[in-house]
Structure 1
């Protein structure tokens, strides 16, 4: 065992785990006061349910099981982590062996690292559904979506499946697709799923009729900063070793995030006359999304260019929901969908030695586009089936009165800021 790599990957798994609470704060600050607890609970539910499903069969479908048709792994062979965990003669559990990726750390650490990816991916979806869905329906959705969508997608892209560098699409085009840390598996996948559900369940009752503003901008900024910090585990950890690639991924990740924050701000200033804190937070996240698939193969210059392009495009894309009338509450589609798709495609231009601008050919661009579209199609089909069945059975939404009063009271039976109401009542009494 390489103890340096083992320690590094345990730290990275913990950093990626932190990203789900970070998303909770990022999203929680963006919603109105009456829905903040529900928003936090959606991330908590994603964390808890995905952990259980991952141990039961998610790991086996994505990574542990024997390949079935290039789409998913056998869910039985790694059921309850039987392929990675074992008890020694003293009864203390450890790993069955080292990870197969050659970096000599225990396979049990891979389980933790990949679980953290699964939980953050499904948690991202919740931002599009804010202020109107039942917590119970959400938890059921998380379990089914991790099983039928996320785990198979991870297998297809990262574990030698249909969409992998060794898969039939890459071989047919003549260039290996590149997705370092999740442009397709995480961001495109989550954003497309979010859009499908949004179109199915409809808008909030007061969308476009009443002002809908973030209730706690410091929460938003805190979440964004924590996401940036956690993203070092997300991207640098995807080197699967404490090495120079991990170090460079750390650098390229920060370069892209910084550039995107600035270009989002400039775009916002031109459009509205202000550099907003919410815009800065959103720009950071957009840049992190954009560099995710490319963090190891683009130079510092192109990392900044990717961030700059993504910052402008995502800022503009977030306004499309008002033009087209879909209620993507917290801009999951605009930030993660557009950012993930842009970053994935730009590899075809900027990847060192294979991109069109770096001495390569059209093949890298073609394979990036085709695999990204394949990921979109898979996510659309699977998510629609899951969401439609839930809609027709238990339903997604709280009723209209509960939504307008506040989903916190309706679903959680509590409010985040009871002292506000008490202070108001006391003020009236004194007056």
Structure 2
């Protein structure tokens, strides 16, 4: 059985790591650092996985979103995703990594690694195996790539009408007060070497992020990335307002070819996103890899056939969206559930995503331009909850790993795990919504959120950037 989780009888719920804290912060953990060595194979895999995650933002997400907007806003969409990627990468190095992945309290870390202070080519980040580490620098980039694409996901919800300056300022505020604390709450822990005894494990867990302490399972970002971004996008869609002519004028995607290319690049990069979250080149990585293959394939098929049944025609946009819904649903579960569980989750997510972008969107009554909440919100929530179900060994999952006794813990409780998963989802929704609402309100009262009506009609490519995506 692969090592993926921590179980301690001192805590009422299972505690499971999805990420490894670079160098243990507690005294107990510090005692074990001397035996921690870099595994070149794991570091090599993480170099590749990180490059794949970087590919997801640019060009993957940029092309996926760009193809979905009208031609007059294609370049603006590319510019927003590209610039946010650069902005968040810089902020991650300055303070993001330090606040998310150092010991502090249950919500934030510390400023001890501002500008990556103290990290050198010899610094070691823990994996999920005792005594096995990788270069901390690549761990920094891997985590930073997650932060960058999360902020990029948000802009699809209010595409084609927001000021470029508002996008950048919002991203800085939301990244600082929503992404960083949720990443710390879910993923920060002292590393496996800190769990040498029951007492040491209790002390180490007390220094972990709030949701980690309570056992929330999130292998690669169901709550931290997808639900977090989707809620912020939905709030933005409400507060920025609908596009001019929404519901009256045709707003069809200008290039489904670009969208298909973008979706395919996203899927390709997602293998690094999910399998890389194992932090090692081992069986858990291969489990996450195969789940990242089968779940989106199943979701694309279920979406296609459901749409075919409902509308009489299967669409390329539906198939591509279905694949994305499957990628989203499997993200929190990739290394925890068996292949059968991943297949079922994919099939369910295709239908759920179809409902999210049609039925739920009408119920919400807002112009979520590129269906960020319908895909990432609905399927992210679904994936987080179903992770608690299909991680059960009785249903083919890996169960949880007790790092003190070095064996799989017994008596996995689906109900208890789903409960903490629901709590994690609820905290993510409320936290992200409040931060986003404050940020948008402040921006609206200062620099304003929307471009002028004339600028929106002409298109953001020319009016904001003075360029065109296509020159005829």
Q: TM-score, normalised by structure 2?
A: 0.82
Cα deviation for residue 209 of structure 1 reads: 1.0
Label 1:168 to 1:230 Cα distance change in 2 as closer, same or farther (>3 A).
closer
Instruction: Give the corresponding residue for 1:217.
Output: 256
Given the alignment, which residue of 19, 43, 63 partners 1:25? 63
Q: Give the distance between the partners of 2:259 and 2:437, measured in 1 at CA.
A: 30
CA 1:7–1:210 in 2, change beyond 3 Å: closer, same or farther?
A: same
Aligned pairs for 1:404-415 within 5 A: 404-415=457-468
Residue 274 of structure 1: how far off its partner (Å) = 1.2
Matched ranges for 1:371-382 at <5 A: 371-382=424-435
Unpaired stretches in structure 1, ≥5 consecutive residues: 86-93, 420-431
Alpha-carbon distance in structure 1 between the residues aligned to 2:209 and 2:142: 24
Shift of 1:169: 5.9
Residue of structure 2 equivalent to 1:59: 97
* 1:269/1:156 CA distance change after superposition, 3 Å: same
Give, in whole Å, the separation in 1 of the partners of 2:206 and 2:300: 31
Q: Could you say which residue in structure 2 is the equivalent of 1:360?
A: 413
* 2:449 is equivalent to residue 396 of structure 1: yes
Q: Which moved more, 1:327-336 or 1:354-363?
A: 354-363
1:48 deviates by 0.8
Counterparts in 2 of 1:118 and 1:367: CA distance versus 1, 3 Å: same
8 Å contact from structure 2 (residues 185, 212) kept in 1? no
Per-residue Cα deviation, 1:121-169 (whole angstroms, up to 9, x for no partner)? 00000111110111122112222222111111100100049x9996666
Matches within 5 A, 1:119-158: 119-158=148-187
CA distance in 2, matches of 1:113, 1:168: 22
Match of 1:328 among 348, 361, 368: 368
> CA, structure 1 residues 164+292, in 2 after alignment: closer, same or farther (shift >3 Å)?
farther
Partner of 2:276: 237
In the alignment, the residues of structure 1 paired with residue 260 and residue 237 of structure 2 have an alpha-carbon distance, to the nearest angstrom, of: 25
Q: Is the 8 A contact 1:265 1:279 kept in 2?
A: yes
Cα distance in structure 2, aligned partners of 1:355 and 1:248: 15
Separation (CA, whole Å) in 1 of partners of 2:206 and 2:466: 46
Question: What is residue 51 of structure 2 aligned with on the other side?
Answer: 14
**SS state at 2:148 partner:** helix
Distance 2:211 2:252 in 1: 44
Q: Partner residue of 2:41?
A: 4
Say which SS state the counterpart of residue 469 (structure 2) adopts: coil
Separation in 2, partners of 1:220, 1:185:
25
- Please tell me whether the aligned partners of residues 157 and 233 of structure 2 are also in contact (alpha carbons under 8 angstroms): yes
CA distance in 2, matches of 1:349, 1:416: 46
- Residue of structure 1 in register with 2:125 after alignment: 99
1:422 corresponds to: none
CA gap of 1:170–1:408, structure 2 versus 1, over 3 A, is: closer
Tell me how far apart the structure 2 counterparts of residues 61 and 272 of structure 1 sit (CA, whole Å). 48
